[in-house]
Structure 1
Amino acid sequence: MGAQSRLAELKLQLPPAPKPVGVYKPIVVAGGMAYLSGHGPLKSDKSLVTGRLGLDMDVEAGYDAARLTGLGMLATLEAHLGSLDKVKRLVKLLGLVRSTDGFDQQPAVINGCSELFRDVFGEDNGVAARSALGTNALPGGIAVEIEAIFEVDA
């Protein structure tokens, strides 16, 4: 079963692909690899999920923000490639979590995106090398920012 079919089976609807808010491309494909710029948790009303884990957000809210970010990343892939079925595999995921100094559950937050990709692309192709880091600031006060590298059929 392809990723597009799994998306339908999971009853997931992708949002419109987010537009860049600076001087960068949301995705660059080179040498069979798709490099996705950092994406944030963009809601359907075009507002962003903001907050700081360990202060005004808990792990569950952070997980949901990371999952929302993953949906936006899938939308970027689909808009650029024409179909998620052109994704061979996720290679690397980097998640940044805006958090307090004492918060140490960044991996549990980024699981919101990682589990989404696993469910869409499968255990072998949707689980990759990953880093989940805490940071004191992200653009616009967003809760998470995630970037990824995918192997694709271009």
Structure 2
Amino acid sequence: MSKSNFDSLFRENNERWLDPLPKHQRTLILKLMEQNEDYYTVAEAYLTINTPNTAPFSAGQGRKIFVDKLVLEIEHFLCGDKKYEEERLGLFSNLKPTHTIVVSTVSAAVAPYIGASAIFIMPAVSLIFIGIGKMTINAWCEMRKELKLQ
């Protein structure tokens, strides 16, 4: 599958990114989304509810650092960092990856780099993908580059 075909997953119904989540996680995320429309804020709220003592991110602005680190790792995965090359190639070679395959693959790939389990971060990954769905992956990667230059 080419990256442009992969990009088409992000143009579909954005709430499909919640399909991979177990019912209890999806219910919580939908409840949080009723309170806030910003997907990154909802991801932070979800991680806050569930990670009061997540080390090494638990002190001070820990929640924000944890979400920022997760977004950075997703950026590395989607935007071409070499450390995710094998996982990315496996994903792009899949004939028709689904939202479930993409969320599961990315969650499993980035989890070790942020010190969390894949199942725990899946809701936050799904929310970040919903946010990316408002644009193309290439536009999101470019936006992330510009943010670093500021």
Q: Identify, as 1 or 2, the structure richer in helix.
A: 2
Give the number of the structure with larger relative contact order, counting CA–CA contacts within 8 Å between residues 6 or more apart: 2
Q: TM-score normalized by structure 2?
A: 0.28
Query: More strand by proportion, 1 or 2?
Result: 1
